[in-house]
Amino acid sequence: MQFLRLGEPGSERPAVRHDGSTYDLAPLTADVDGRFLEAGGVGATRAALAAGELPVLDEAGLRVGPPIAAPGKVVCIGLNYRDHAEETGAAIPAEPVVFLKTADTIVGPYDEVLIPRGSVKTDWEVELGVVIGRTARYVESDADALACVAGYVLSHDVSEREFQIERGGTWDKGKNCETFNPLGPFLVPADEVADPQRLDLRLWVNGEPRQDSSTKNMIFPVAEVVRYLSRFMVLRPGDLINTGTPAGVALGQPDPKPYLREGDVVELEIEGLGRQKQTFGQA
């Protein structure tokens, strides 16, 4: 199953793809959100599909929005691939590097992404997104941590490196510009992803390969990330975790670094989680 949301921003309708068809989820839920996930929405959807209770939905011509609605928070892990830390000259972290993005940075997987005014170092980052399905608070074991995961999603953690690194303070200034987190195209339930640490992820800029790696190369795997975060904050249903990016970002390239400019096209994918494509515009 693939959960998605279709329609214009602010008016998306919940849907599910299954066996080559798309079905309207409106008979089950008003949206794909934390309440739906916490209430067993994945299982209820399977039952409704098996019973033929969901109407077929024609998605032709409909915008694909982000597959989850209104996450309470977006928690990000920095420097979570050894090769990415090395290419940027950063030390390998002893513990996960944690920062936050605001939920209003999230846009659809094919929406325009805006380069901020004054930006000279807008960068790309393909990442595995983890969506929480039940409250995670002081989780003790990896098994319990993974049991809190509702599903997985392709996430693009767009970053502005000058704002992030050179302007003082925290990383947040370089991570929270508008449209800086394209998400989707769909959410895959956790029990349909055999191993989140065996997923290939890739990114291209204007057709040129830039990132090509696997989630097996994470320093801190998904279970450890969820368990670790639950010591410092309560993870609630619908929350999104961006788990870090591998080598190949513009920041790690030789000078002159190929930072994004207006008109550039970025495509990215994760095995089993679909593909995104964004054209970059100017804010």
As a whole number, mean pLDDT of residues 45-57 equals 98
- Whether pTM > 0.75 for this model: the answer is yes
Token code pair at residue 221: 């795997």
| Predicted local confidence at residue 215, as pLDDT | 97
Neighbours of 256 (CB within 10 A): 7
Coil, strand, or helix at residue 27? Answer: coil
- Residue 165: predicted pLDDT: 94
* pLDDT band at residue 262 using 50, 70 and 90 as cut-offs: very high
Q: Look up residue 145 and give its DSSP letter.
A: H
